[in-house]
Amino acid sequence: MSAHAWFILASYAIAALAIGGAALAIVLDHRALKHALAKLPASPDEEARK
Amino acid sequence: MLRFANPANFLRLAAVLVPTGAVLSALTLTLGLYLSFFVAPADYQQGQTVRIMYIHVPAAWLAMFCWGTMTLAALGSLVWRHPLADAAQKAAAPLGAAFTFVCLVTGSLWGKPMWGTWWVWDARLTSVLVLFIMYLGLIALWRSIDEPSRAGRAAAILTLVGSINLPIIKFSVDWWNTLHQPASVFRAGGPTIHPTMLWPLLTMAIGMTLLFITLHLMATRNEVLRRRLRRRAILAAEAGDSRAMPQEA
């Protein structure tokens, strides 16, 4: 192990947490939006596009 | 191209591109990490610490690329008043903040063993910190205005004004005397990095760019759905549907 292994591991761990956290937030937001949309009827313009 | 700027067409396109982008970015990042940790040699001066470069440099490029993407979307908002441009702008800001945060933290973790300090107020580091603060300001601006098109116009103006920071970041190492090293990849005369380190770096950069594009598509899709939800809620409220009314805390 390098003398500076802690710095290398911390860099990759923080990057994974920050970018993974952003990705998780987007996925959870998508689920919540789909759930909320399912509770409301489609608007007339959405129906017309189907 | 403009055909896909229609929100309904965009949703159909995103349904195909998101899984494709996710698989491609996962494969490229796996290859990039393998090359960065097991193929690229240690640096003759920095030793193993140089491996921080493979995450720090792509994060820095993406921090700037994301603001560039927002600048194009801001032009779409202001010139064409296109709702998808507003959605793309809003979706990019938190991603840009995340990549800028990664750039700053990994730079600090690289700086401590190499420079002997976590932080210096040199032009490159300070201009990237300014970029991070601008991302946070932009996120706050989006949250402070309820009406999406008004928020989009205000954010577009801030984004266009803030884009002046991009050349400052890029050329800060040339214009001022900085502790941060000058450009070693995108420079006149070609890269100064040895190919054994350049290829892992470029592979990581491609992987992270694919990841950014995928996440941006997903977040833009969320913004399109949020507008659809808002429209449905307004229509339902007008029709007297209590499910659409705001809930009391």
Rounded to the nearest 10°, the torsion over CA B35, B36, B42, B44 is 100
Mean pLDDT of chain B: 90
Which chain B positions have a beta carbon within 8 Å of A11's beta carbon? Answer: 52, 55-56, 105-106, 109-110
State residue B43 phi and psi, 5-degree precision.
-75, 145
Out of A19, A39, A42, closest to residue B98 by CB = A19
Q: How would DSSP label each residue in B82-114?
A: -HHHHHHHHHHHHHHHHHHHHHHHHHHHHHHHH
E strand or H helix at A28: helix A5-39
| pLDDT of res. B147 | 87
Cβ–Cβ under 8 Å, residues A22 and B95: yes
* Cβ contact A30–B221 (<8 Å): yes
In the predicted model, is pLDDT for residue B239 greater than 50? Answer: yes
Cβ–Cβ under 8 Å, residues B140 and B93: no
Residue B172 half-sphere exposure toward CB, CA atoms < 13 A: 20
Q: What is the ipTM of this complex?
A: 0.90
| pLDDT of res. B249 | 32
For residue B236, name the pLDDT band (cuts at 50, 70, 90). confident
Picking from B36, B112, B232, B247 by the largest number of A CB atoms within 10 A of its own CB, the best residue to mutate is B232
- CA B215, distance to chain mean position in Å, is 10
- CA B3, distance to chain mean position in Å, is 25
Among candidates B73, B66, B65, B72, which has minimal Cα distance to B89?
B73
| pLDDT of res. B218 | 97
* Cβ contact B49–A2 (<8 Å): yes
* Cβ contact B102–A15 (<8 Å): yes
| pLDDT of res. B38 | 95
Q: What is the pLDDT of residues B181-231, one digit of tens each?
A: 887 777 777 778 888 999 999 999 999 999 999 999 999 999 999 999 998
For residue A10, name the pLDDT band (cuts at 50, 70, 90). very high
Among candidates B204, B47, B61, B122, which has minimal Cα distance to A7?
B47
Spatial separation of the C-alpha atoms in residues B215 and B92, rounded to whole Å: 9
Spatial separation of the C-alpha atoms in residues A40 and B243, rounded to whole Å: 8
For residue A32, name the pLDDT band (cuts at 50, 70, 90). very high
Among candidates B112, B100, B191, B171, which has minimal Cα distance to B139?
B100
